[in-house]
Structure 1
């Protein structure tokens, strides 16, 4: 899966031709969340809160 960017340890990735709705994968500290592009709602998973 292509990594689009990385900042403060968060990796943002997208799969080509993935299922709808359009979304990206965010990974941090071993956790992952799927986030919709249009509303930024979390579809699945979770990320830890900031320290």
Structure 2
């Protein structure tokens, strides 16, 4: 549910009915993190630097897709 992308062993996901602030999750075999959509700041968690760089590079290029998925799965807290 909410899987946006998989880059090698990195999974980028948004969960339905999640909490604010609007964010997405980066999941790897070695760690996970929550990332704020608006700023791409890590809110929680820790990732290996290469995985973090790869995921955030993808996110920067796909912010509109991430925001659209957040709005679809979290209609209580839409991103304007």
Identify whether the pair has TM-score above 0.5, normalized to the shorter chain: yes
Normalised to the residue count of structure 1, the TM-score between the two structures is 0.84
Name the one with the larger helix percent.
2
Deviations 1:4-35 (A, max 9, x none): 11013210011112000000000122300000
Report the number of matched residues: 50
User: Relative CO higher for 1 or 2, CA cutoff 8 Å, sep ≥ 6?
Assistant: 2
SS in 1 for 2:49: coil
RMSD of the alignment, in Å? Answer: 1.2
Give the greater-gyration-radius structure (CA): 2
Q: Counterpart of 1:11?
A: 11
Note the residue ranges of structure 2 that are not aligned, 5 or more in a row: 51-80
Normalised to the residue count of structure 2, the TM-score between the two structures is 0.57
Q: Which runs of 4+ in 1 moved over 4 A?
A: none
Note the residue ranges of structure 1 that are not aligned, 5 or more in a row: none
